[in-house]
A and B are shown apart, each in its own frame.
Chain A
Amino acid sequence: MQKPALTISHLAKSYGSTDAVKSISFEIETGEIFGLLGPNGAGKSTTINMISGVTRIDSGAVEVFGYDNQTDYRMTRCLCGVMHQEIVIDNFFTIDKALRLHAGYYGVADDPEWRNMLIDRLGLREHLHKVMLKLSGGLKRRFMIAKALIHKPKLLILDEPTAGVDVELRLTLWDFVREINRQGTTVLLTTHYLEEAEQMCNRVAIMNHGQLVALDTTVALLKKLGSRMVTTHLATPLQDLPPELKSFKPRLKNGGNDITFSLTENQTSVDLLDTVRGLDIAVTDVETRQSNLEDIFLRLTGSNDKERTNAL
């Protein structure tokens, strides 16, 4: 049986009295694109840093394709390619030179065919002999992806790869990640763009306050935790929500001009609109949509606490 690409068992890390990661466990199967999501400070980067070896592990274990990243660290580091969240580059070297050096750090001989493929696919060809200082932010990100892949890792770890990147480059990068994945590389990524995670990832884990609060396939998460959202635009703004609407989980928005409802499987839009009409609330328009990963994320991480205060 094929070993999982990544096995994390009771992984924990504290900084002083702050528990950054609290005994989390999960597995990533070979060939998956796995999303690790969470608000800032949730512990995603700390987890990734513990996998890659940048951060020391307090307790627990990390196995990459069955190799322990403490005892077989040379093997696990050869198997992983990491792109960090922060742009980290060595200003002394050109892209070309830096890529060759990076292959050497991994103990593998330079493969010009592979290197040139990365350079071409990531649009680095015309900037090859520029020093890093002269590159734009987008080019630095592209270079960092090439650097993470230069030794042909089996597990690619991308920590916020599209942070601060324009739309065109984002699409290019995700296309490339899908292509690499199709060629057999397992991908672990974190992103703040939840729509992208929804489109890219087979499975997602959501972290909050150092803990895993959800872990499932993206489809199952949407089915299990998702709901239908109905927004009613009102003719006259409301100050308070009538208690009769409580079962539809209403939230006042837009200064009382809109009410957003979150319907359960047993509730229908017709039931809702009948109840609203019965309360003599004049509605000018109605919008409905299925909740997405972002809604689930906000619900699980409490990132919409502010809105909740307006809810019943």
Chain B
Amino acid sequence: MPSDLRQHGYNPWLPFKTLLFKEVRRFFRVVSQTVVTPIITASLYLFIFGATLGERISVLEGFNYAQFVVPGLILMGVINNSFSNCASSLFMSRYLGNIVDLLVTPVTPPQFIMAYTLAAMIRGLMVGTIVCLVSLFFAQLPWAHPFAVIGMAALTSFLFAQLGLLAAIYSNSFDSLSMFTNFLILPLIYLGGVFYPISLLPYPWSTLSHLNPIFYLIDGFRHALIGVGDLPLWLSFTVAGGMSLAAFTWAAILIGKGYRLRN
């Protein structure tokens, strides 16, 4: 940090901490929308598949359906909330014009990305954790690889925070923003093996499902949680890590250039 800045009383971490604090405060101010609603949705799924249908369906030997579906539901909460926190916050700032409040400040592009990302991860992982706690009423989870569970949840959250930033930057309207959720993320989640094992699908759908990036995340998370998956854990982590790196680089380049943020 240049000495002139220090003389000015500038604390290099403060812009980042303030932006992170503001982003976390933002979703807590509307906690019923941002945290309670996704937990209720996930709880309904848990009730339907855990307490009612769960006992009559078996898709994986040695596990009941609730045990199979819970990892996917947890990760679905992480994905949706990490994505929508970044997407809605940044898009609203662009839409309402108050993004200029940040653009005129010394917040650097890396601080900008990391503050938005961490806030999204806090929300995503918080929702995931609560869904996980609620799921204890419906299924017993073996926690086969606990560190891998945390790692995959964090990596997924990070990845979807980046995708949320990208969606907010590329969207021109609320419609186009919701298209990312409704026509891309939601179908990929549902087709990514939340409710069924991909190996049960007939050819060519089982093969095509391997092109769905969310499949690697869900399968990896389930594998870490219950100890069984369609893919080896290292492959899921490699794909998740690669996608995260690519999305982060993409978002960093756009935000660094001020693409669609600065005129």
Distance between A186 CB and nearest chain B CB, rounded to angstroms: 16
Which of A49, A54, A105 has most chain B Cβ within 10 Å? A105
Interface string of B1-33 (1 = CB under 8 A from A): 010110011111011011101100110010000
Q: B18: which A residues are within 8 A, CB to CB?
A: 101, 104-105
Are A56 and B98 interface neighbours, CB within 8 A?
Answer: no
Which of B18, B96, B104 has most chain A Cβ within 10 Å? B104
Q: B100: which A residues are within 8 A, CB to CB?
A: 54, 84, 88
Q: Check A107/B97 contact, CB under 8 A, given A54-B103, A92-B26.
A: no
Distance between A162 CB and nearest chain B CB, rounded to angstroms: 19
- Interface presence of B107 (CB below 8 A): yes
Q: A101: which B residues are within 8 A, CB to CB?
A: 18, 21-22
- Interface presence of A73 (CB below 8 A): yes
Are A105 and B107 interface neighbours, CB within 8 A?
Answer: yes
Q: A93: which B residues are within 8 A, CB to CB?
A: 22, 25
The B-contacting residues of A in range 11-57, CB under 8 angstroms, are 15, 46, 49, 52-56
Q: A86: which B residues are within 8 A, CB to CB?
A: 97
Q: B238: which A residues are within 8 A, CB to CB?
A: none
- Interface presence of B40 (CB below 8 A): no
**Interface residues of A, count at CB 8 A:** 35
- Interface presence of B106 (CB below 8 A): yes
Q: B21: which A residues are within 8 A, CB to CB?
A: 101, 104
- Interface presence of A167 (CB below 8 A): no
Are A55 and B263 interface neighbours, CB within 8 A?
Answer: yes
The B-contacting residues of A in range 71-120, CB under 8 angstroms, are 72-75, 77-80, 82, 84, 86, 88-93, 101-102, 104-109
Closest residue of chain A to B18 (Cβ to Cβ) is A104
Q: Check A82/B9 contact, CB under 8 A, given A75-B4, A104-B15.
A: no
Of A15, A54, A72, A109, the residue contacting B14 (CB under 8 A) is A109
- Interface residues, chain B, CB within 8 Å of chain A? 2, 4-5, 8-12, 14-15, 17-19, 21-22, 25-26, 29, 93, 96-98, 100-108, 258, 262-263
Q: Could you name 27 residue pairs across A and B whose Cβ atoms are closer than 8 Å?
A: A49-B263, A53-B103, A54-B103, A54-B262, A56-B263, A74-B108, A75-B5, A77-B104, A78-B5, A78-B8, A78-B10, A79-B8, A84-B100, A88-B97, A88-B98, A90-B93, A90-B98, A90-B101, A91-B96, A92-B25, A101-B18, A102-B105, A105-B15, A105-B19, A105-B105, A105-B106, A108-B11
**Known interface pairs A55-B263, A105-B18, A108-B8; 17 further A-B residue pairs with C-beta atoms within 8 A, sorted by A's residue number:** A52-B103, A54-B100, A54-B104, A54-B263, A56-B258, A74-B106, A75-B8, A77-B105, A90-B96, A90-B101, A92-B25, A101-B21, A104-B15, A104-B21, A105-B101, A105-B107, A107-B5
Complex A-B, nearest 6 residue pairs according to Cβ-Cβ distance, in ascending order: A104-B18, A74-B106, A105-B105, A55-B263, A107-B10, A88-B98
